[in-house]
Structure 1
Amino acid sequence: MTQFVDVILPVAVPKLYTYRVPVELTGFVISGQRVIVEFGKRKRYSAIIRKVHGVAPMAYQAKYIEAILDPLPIVTEDQFKFWEWIATYYMCTIGEVMLAALPSALKLASETRIVSNPDFNRDYQQLTDSEYLIVEAIEIRNVLSLLEISEILDQKTVYPLIKSLLEKKAVLVEEELINKYKPKIDKYVRLTADYTSEESLKNVFDALERAPKQLELLMQLISQSKMFGHSPIEVKKNSLQKAAGASSAQTAQLVKKGIIEIYEKEIGRIESYDGSLTPFNELSNQQAVALKEIDHAFKSKQVCLLHGVTSSGKTNVYVEKIKETIAAGGKVLYLLPEIALTTQIINRLKKYFGNCIGVYHSKFNANERVEIWNNVLSGKGYDIIIGARSALFLPFKNLDLVIIDEEHENSFKQYDPNPRYHARDAAIVLANISNAKVILGTATPSIETYWSATQGRFGHVKMKKRFGGIQLPEIFCADIQEERRKKKIKGVFTTFLSNAMKIALENGEQIILFQNRRGYAPQWSCDDCGVVPQCSRCDVSLTYHKFQKKLNCHYCGYSINPPSKCDACGSQKLAMIGFGTEKIEEDLALQLPKAKIARMDLDTTRSKSAYQKLLAGFENREIDILVGTQMVTKGLDFDNVALVGVLNADQMLGFPDFRAFERAYQLMAQVSGRAGRKRKRGKVIIQTRNPNHWIIQKVIANDYEAMYHQELLERKNFNYPPFYRLIQLTVKHRDKNLTEDGARELVKLLQVELKGWVLGPEFPSIARIRNFYLMNVLIKFDRKASPTKIKRYINDSIGKLKQNKTFKSCIVKVDIDPI
């Protein structure tokens, strides 16, 4: 019987395509395998088999699949269900979901560019003739597309060869070089084979009497390695030299004499935990009650909100639930909003759970992500996966618990490209497919989550006190206007904050300063005519970065050298307006010259190692003051932070968005929670021109409930979530007039059926990005209405717009549940 397969292609096409299985491959194809198929005239892709059947397509003649890449499926049936839900709910194609879900090494296409791996050990003996030819050609030409490789070898299908070269780490997919994973290599020391007996060592001891440091090195090596015990262990070169008080030169002498040898060992992203496991902490009364209440909630609810104030010990509750889940044979997914946050939580969890923790996020290269993917797929690798939102797409087996820490964070939302999913909401659906439970943890729940809990959709557990009886920080306001009137303010710091910083430093305490704007100065302005240099590709002013000596656009990356005179009027009177983290760091160095200051923002943490170095420096008290953007508000736990300063609260409150007050409360409450977490009550100083603003007052009172009820009333009155649902459509084109006309035409089409639920079109606050003009159309509809029908009508309307030749080139972006 002739076999056919329906495949998912890694492109934005609205349906599956059917291919014929060659006779020689009949019986070997399985749903979830990758196969090589031709799509279009010359393009080839690694597609995923969704269905195997015996029905030929009616509309076209099916092409043959060219090769099977996997002996067993790499995508599970539960994953397919999850992908299909994502595609349906977020109004994108399943091919776009596939692109987001799979590591790039698993989704090769004929346009994929291959480059040499600089870490390849040049062991050409392990390569076949064809593989060697590819590697040689890439080394000569630096980069080759799969299509070019196909032409060089004069063979149609090269995907199995490239797969083999990726596995041998001889090549890399070019896109992975941006954030290339570099394995950590450690050097270890051991005795050579000639010196492993007691007799041979006795002779060495006699010979080294006149070289005391070398003798001490040898003694330390024997002691640390426990070589004569039942369980010898490996000894790191650095730790050995440190213990012996010896240098690398002295170690080299022992190597030269043939007594010891040095060997290298690759260490994974999470180092093997060699120490004994730490006993689990005994839960406090509050934590034990919370755990019991979560268990009770899980009897009738799939999802439970753990609403605990900052430093209440939510992580200890997570650890207990993880322990229970693993003991019952289940797996755990621990989602965090930022890649950077994985560092602290990994270090904490591995003390309890050892080496059963895996990490998955976009900082790893393709090969590393494929290894983790395969490990999870086997079900034998990790019991716990920690990761950012992309970890949702791993091929879990026996997933029993999902923890979403800091569930309120906007970072869980994917903005571009498709699928524009929210990881929190998608994780709940994944858990439902997997029959798993979900804990949503936060000190400041999103209003939608809290509303769901109060409506009985989610379980709801509260932890109102800090762990260990530590009080919540005292929060004060510093009135910027009043200090300016009295001419007391020094640069960006009020006298109140300046004095508090000096006292904290005198007491040997640490400080965190929060300013939600990176760079040196937000604007570079002409004093005479007021003109501000703008990005040539976006409708936004350029931000000055002093370290780079550049004016940069934070939206498209455009940059210029600072002008010496105004382009509009020629005046040389140019001034910087406002302040970013870079300027704050400079002002601090002038005011507090003895303080050790560090900055944490996108500019200083582009690599994971840079972030880890900053965290380690602050944790080891090598840094006195940490200045940062939103990064410093998220989940950091340092016991010596006594003071937190919010440098410009008004900036958060003035944002034109219905969620602005909620976000401002969350940011200020979260960063406040970094103060006084262990030893004593901390202090928080909020600088503002409006100290009586109701949101600031609620932050001071730590009154989430009051903020929630006030915001909920506003949203009910003006038809916003959680009472109404939102879908935002953005029309994009390089021609401004065509963008406007296209958006208006789309509104007309939508209003035929959706009438008053359609609002707009309107230009957003930044109406041009990367030379594309943008216009937004907002659809607001009652929760009782059918989202399926509305989405179907939106798709029909976009289809009709595209059928109009005038607007065929307009791009329409769909964002479900925009934030």
Structure 2
Amino acid sequence: MNQFADIILPLAVSQPYTYRLPQELAGRVVVGSRVVVPLGRRKYYTGIVCRLHATLPATVDASALKDVAELVDEQPLLLPAQLQFWEWMAQYYMCTLGEVMKAALPSGLKLESESAVRKNPDFSDFDVLTERESRVLDALSAEKGESLASLQRELNIDNILPLVRRLLERDAVVMEEKMTRQYRPKTEKHVRLAADFQDENRLNEVFENLKRTPKQSELLLKYLELSKASTAFALSNMGLLEEVARRDLLRLPGASEFALSALVGKGVLEVYDYEVGRLKTQKALPELLTKELNPAQQQAYEEITQSASTPVLLQGVTSSGKTEIYIRLIEDALRRGEQVLYLLPEIALTTQIMTRLSRVFGDKLGVYHSKFPDAERVELWQRQLSERPFPLILGVRSSLFLPFRNLGLIIVDEEHETSYKQQDPAPRYNARDAALVLARSTGARVLLGTATPAVETYHNALSGKYRLVELTTRYGDRQLPEIVVEDVKELRRKKLMKSPFSPRLTEEIREALAHHEQVILFQNRRGYSPVLECHTCGWTPHCEHCDVPLTYHQQQGRLVCHYCGTPYPLPQQCPNCGSTELRDLGYGTEKIEAAVRAFFPEARTARMDLDTTRSRSSYERILEAFGRGETDILIGTQMVTKGLDFERVHVVGILNADQSLNVPDFRAFERSFQMLSQVAGRAGRKGRRGLVVFQTRQPQLPVVQQIVTNDYRAMYASQLVERREFLYPPFCRIINIFVRHRDERICEDAAQKFAQSIRPYFQSDLLGPDRPAVARIQALYIRKMMLKVRPTFSAASIRRTLLSARDVLLSRPELKGVQLYFDVDPL
């Protein structure tokens, strides 16, 4: 009987493809397995089996189906709960299963015919290769990579992926770094006793023969000692021989490469490749497990544990000790044999929390985020499928996709953070919301923690959908920082502010430095200056591909587009009028750093933004130096606002609060309250009361006073009135609809036609199409529509209406090349 498999491919196609299982794979392929399948004439992809069946719909011609080319995994790579989660995500966020697959799997678990390979110049073991493998290797260059598709055409081989996979395993070829990389286990050379000599009598004979070669005899004795051979022989169980690394053996006094080579040549010892893990773990420090909760923490902990399956919002002011409660809840879950997922919004936060958790939980902790090398992420994925998975995972939003066999608790720290939302590419999911769905399907409990909840989350808590638990005081009864508002507009009018720092901020920084305290300066814009302008005619350089001015980066000596990343040389004169008087306007973190060094030359400074933290080690290096007190002033973007905990920070300067207050978005005041309250919370966490200097041109705004008094409820109440009146979340859901094309006329036409086709269904709840604030990115023109979805609407019918209208629109020949996508619950 024929058997068929529906397979998810990492492509934006509406449905999985169906393939026939050849006889030799029948019974071996299971749902969740990886397989290699052909697509089109010469392309091959790694896909995931999502369904097995023996019958086809009457409309499908079985003779036209292609066969699965190769089974990659005998055991499933994807668990049933994961597949169910993928299906929900594709449905809710209106994307395809293939797009979810691309986001979920590390690159090392995917291999496509577009991937490029080149010959490994260090490979020399040609005798182990088959004739077909040798043909592939001979066709490759060591200098330049070649795509598998072109290699397949050149050699006229139907399916080249299995051959390349075996060459990768033998280290004969390497993947191009810029392309998808195939995972290979990390190995090191180990030494073992040959099977023929795992007998005491034979071994005694060897020592008798080695009397004339004392160095070999000594090395063999050292090996037997390291491998605990005496125990293995005493119990007649050679499986007890411990692994011995070649380098460890040769480091011992008297050991030599020559003696080892001689013993290997005599067949007594063998040198072989041993797979070692890339995942780093630490030992726990048991004394940290006994830290007592204070009465307020204990009460919050008890309220959380009594909540059963209801999600809990833990609203605790900054430095109230939320992390200690998390640790206690994690301990409880691990004692019950459950797994825990601890989500954080930013990699910068992961670095500091990782150190704290690893001291408590040691080798029970696994860390997963995109700054780790792909091979490490593959290894952690496979570890979670093994018999000894990490019981505790700390990660950013992508860690939601990891396989969990017994997930019992999900902690979403700083739940209000916009970093939990993926913007591009699809799936455009919010990890906080997705975590709630994952928990519901797995029976896990969810804890959302923050000092400044999202308005929608707080509304759910007050309406009884979540349980609200509050911590209203800082740990140790420390005071919240004093917040001083400086009216920048008035100071400039009086000519009292001739730098980015108000007189009060300058004075407070000097005093903090004199007391050997630390300072954080927050400026949410990187680069040196956001605008370069001709002083004569007002010309400003713009990106050729995006509708945005270029940002001046002084250290790079060039202009950069912050939307597409394109660099431009610094102009020497204005191309419009020829003037050489070009001035930089505004402040970025680079310019603030230069000002700090000019005004406070004695201070040791560091900058933390995207330009200085492009690698995992750079995050750690900056934060560790600041934590050790080697940096006096830390200048940063919003990276410095998120939950960082440093004892010596006394002063926080918010240099330009208006940047977030003036954003044309219904969430502008909410976001400003959250971001500015969070950065203010970095001050005075230990020691004397902290001070925050809040520089703004709009001190009269109600939200400014709400931040000063830390009155979240007042902010929430005012925002709720506005949102109810104008129909915004939490009183509706929003779906943004984007249309993109290289031709502005076609983009506008497509957007208008789509709006006309769906407006009869939604009437005034459909806004637009309009030009967004940035109407062209990467040479693509953009039009935007906003759909407000009332609670009475059926989510399923809305999805059907929108997807059907999109399919009809994109089928029109004159609109070829138009991109139309949906952003559900945008932030």
**Which TM-score bucket, shorter chain as reference?**
0.7 to 0.9
Q: 1:10 offset after TM fit, Å? A: 1.5
The aligned counterpart of 2:290 is 280
Instruction: Tell me whether 1:72 sits opposite 2:75 in the alignment.
Output: yes
Measure the CA separation in 1 of the matches of 2:550 and 2:14: 39
Would you say 1:618 and 2:626 are equivalent positions? Answer: yes
Which residue is 1:11 aligned to?
A: 11
Q: Distance in 2 between matches of 1:77 and 1:750?
A: 36
Distance 2:621 2:180 in 1: 20
Letter of the 2:292 counterpart: E
CA shift in 2, pair 1:117/1:360, >3 Å: farther
Contact 1:166 1:367 in 2 (8 A): no
Is the 2:111–2:180 contact (alpha carbons within 8 Å) kept by the matching residues of 1?
A: no
Q: CA deviation at 1:273?
A: 2.6
Structure 2 gaps, min length 5: 189-225, 232-241, 244-250, 260-273
1:742-753 alignment runs, 5 A limit: 742-753=750-761
Aligned pair partner of 1:558 in 559, 563, 566? 566
Query: Could you tell me which residue of structure 2 aligns to residue 516 of structure 1?
Result: 524
1:531 corresponds to: 539
**Closer, same or farther: CA 183–154 of 1 in aligned 2, 3 Å:** closer
The change in CA–CA distance for 1:254 and 1:4 in structure 2 (over 3 A counts) is closer
Who is 2:280 aligned against?
Answer: 270
Matched, 1:638 2:641: no
Aligned-partner Cα distance in 2 for 1:594–1:796: 65
User: Out of 767, 776, 800, which is 2:784 matched to?
Assistant: 776
- Report the counterpart of residue 422 of structure 1 in structure 2: 430
Cα shift at 1:324: 0.6
Indicate yes or no: 2:89 matched with 1:86: yes
CA distance in 1, matches of 2:374, 2:442: 26
State the shift of 1:648 in Å: 0.4
- 2:288 is paired with a residue whose SS is coil
- 1:97 and 2:105 matched: no
Equivalent residue number for residue 590 of structure 1: 598
Structure 1 residue matching 2:290: 3-state secondary structure: coil
Shift of residue 25, structure 1, vs aligned partner: 2.0
Of 107-116 and 567-576, more deviation after overlay is shown by 107-116
Give deviations 1:488-529, integer Å, cap 9, x for gaps: 213111111000000000000000000000000110001111
Separation (CA, whole Å) in 2 of partners of 1:42 and 1:699: 61
Letter aligned with residue 143 of structure 1: G
Amino acid aligned to 2:481: P
The residue aligned with 1:568 is 576
* Aligned equivalents of 2:314, 2:718: Cα separation in 1: 22
Q: CA deviation at 1:171?
A: 5.2
Partners of 2:656 and 2:500 in 1: CA distance: 9
2:574 counterpart SS class = coil
* Structure 1 counterpart of 2:214: none
The within-5 A match list for 1:41-440 is 41-57=41-57, 58-60=59-61, 61-115=64-118, 124=125, 128-129=129-130, 138-150=140-152, 155-166=157-168, 173-174=175-176, 268-273=278-283, 278-297=288-307, 299-301=308-310, 303-440=311-448
Secondary structure in 2 matching 1:560? strand
Partner Cα separation in structure 1 for residue 181 and residue 115 of structure 2: 17
Distance in 1 separating the partners of 2:743 and 2:358 = 54
- Where 2:803 maps in the other structure, the secondary structure is helix
Question: Kindly tell me: are residues 181 and 698 of structure 1, through their superposed partners in 2, closer, same or farther at Cα, counting changes over 3 Å?
Answer: farther
1:474 to 478, 482, 492: 482
Structure 1 residues 379, 757: CA separation in 2 closer, same or farther (over 3 Å shift)? Answer: farther
Report deviation, 1:169: 6.2
Task: Tell me, in whole angstroms, the C-alpha distance in 1 between the residues paired with 2:185 and 2:703.
Answer: 46
Instruction: Specify whether residues 340 and 126 from structure 1 end up closer, same or farther in structure 2 by C-alpha distance, changes over 3 A only.
Output: farther
Maintained 8 Å contact 1:389/1:412: yes
Measured in 1, the distance between the counterparts of 2:6 and 2:707 equals 55
Distance of 2:384 and 2:53 partners within structure 1: 28
Q: Deviations over 1:435-482 (max 9, x none)?
A: 101111111101111111111111111111111111111111111122
How has the CA–CA distance of structure 1 residues 562 and 296 changed in structure 2, closer, same or farther, with 3 Å as cutoff?
same
The one-letter amino acid of 1:587's match is A
**1:265 CA displacement:** 12
- 1:270 CA displacement: 3.2
**2:370 maps to amino acid:** S
Indicate the residue corresponding to 1:243 in structure 2. Answer: none
Unpaired runs of 5+ residues, structure 1, are 187-224, 235-250
**CA shift for structure 1 position 367:** 2.3
Q: Report the CA distance between 1:679 and its aligned residue.
A: 1.6
TM-score by length of 2: 0.86
| 2:24 pairs with 1:24 | yes
Matched residue type, 1:174: E
Q: Which amino acid aligns with 1:576?
A: D
- Note the alpha carbon deviations across 1:669-703, whole angstroms, 9 max, x for none: 00001101112211100111122221111111011
SS at structure 2 position matched to 1:499:
helix
Q: 1:353 to 1:182 in 2, by over 3 A?
A: farther
| Superposed displacement of residue 160, structure 1 | 3.5
Q: Look up the SS of the partner of 2:598 in the other structure.
A: helix
Asked if 2 retains the 8 angstrom alpha-carbon contact of 1:180 and 1:363, the reply is no
**Residue 141 of structure 1: CA displacement?**
4.4
Residues 18 and 282 of structure 1, relative CA distance in 2, 3 Å threshold: same
1:733 alignment partner in structure 2: 741
Other-structure match for 1:212: none
Counterpart amino acid of residue 367 in structure 1: A
2-structure distance, mates of 1:131, 1:710: 69
Q: What CA distance in whole angstroms lies between the structure 1 residues aligned with 2:120 and 2:646?
A: 39
Give the partner amino acid of 1:59: V
Match of 2:215 in 1: none
Cα distance in 1 for partners of 2:681, 2:185 equals 35
Aligned pair in 2 of structure 1 residues 338, 168: CA closer, same or farther (>3 Å)?
Answer: farther
Question: Which residue of structure 2 lines up, in the alignment, with residue 464 of structure 1?
Answer: 472
| 3-state DSSP of counterpart to 2:685 | coil
Q: What's the counterpart of residue 36 of structure 2? A: 36
Letter of the aligned partner of 1:29 in structure 2? V
Structure 1 residues 182 and 289: alpha-carbon distance in aligned structure 2, compared to 1, 3 A threshold:
farther
CA distance in 2 between partners of 1:177 and 1:26 (Å): 33
Conserved in 2, the CA contact under 8 Å of 1:181 and 1:364?
A: no
Distance 1:277 1:157, change over 3 A: farther
CA contact (8 A) 1:308 1:314 kept: yes
Aligned counterpart for 2:815 among listed residues 794, 807, 814: 807
Q: Check 1:72–1:758 CA distance in 2 against 1; reply closer, same or farther (3 A cut).
A: same
Q: CA separation of 1:140/1:343 partners in 2, compared to 1, >3 Å: closer, same or farther?
A: same
Q: What whole-Å deviation, never above 9, does each CA across 1:240-270 have from its counterpart, x for those lacking one?
A: xxxxxxxxxxx999999999xxxx9988453
CA deviations over 1:247-299 (Å, ceiling 9, x no partner): xxxx999999999xxxx9988453433766633311111111111001112x2
Distance 1:351 1:179 in 2: 33
* Shift of residue 799, structure 1, vs aligned partner: 1.7
Query: In structure 2, how many angstroms separate the alpha carbons of the residues matched to 1:612 and 1:558?
Result: 28
- Residues 694 and 818 of structure 1: is their aligned pair in 2 closer, same or farther, counting only changes over 3 Å? same
1:711–1:181: structure 2 CA closer, same or farther, 3 Å change rule?
farther
Deviation at 1:389, TM superposition (A): 0.9
Contact 2:118/2:140 (8 A) holds in 1: yes
| Matched position secondary structure for 1:279 | helix
Deviation at 1:781, TM superposition (A): 2.1
- In structure 1, the residue matched to 2:722 is 714
Give 2:114's aligned amino acid: E
Check the 8 A contact 2:314/2:450 in 1, yes or no: yes
Query: Once superposed, what is the RMSD of the aligned Cα atoms?
Result: 3.1
Instruction: From the superposition, tell whether residues 300 and 81 of structure 1 become closer, same or farther in structure 2 (CA, over 3 Å).
Output: closer
**Partner-residue secondary structure (3-state), 2:583:** strand
Q: 1:177 to 1:618 in 2, by over 3 A?
A: farther
The aligned counterpart of 2:213 is none
Residue range with higher mean Cα deviation, 772-781 or 358-367: 358-367
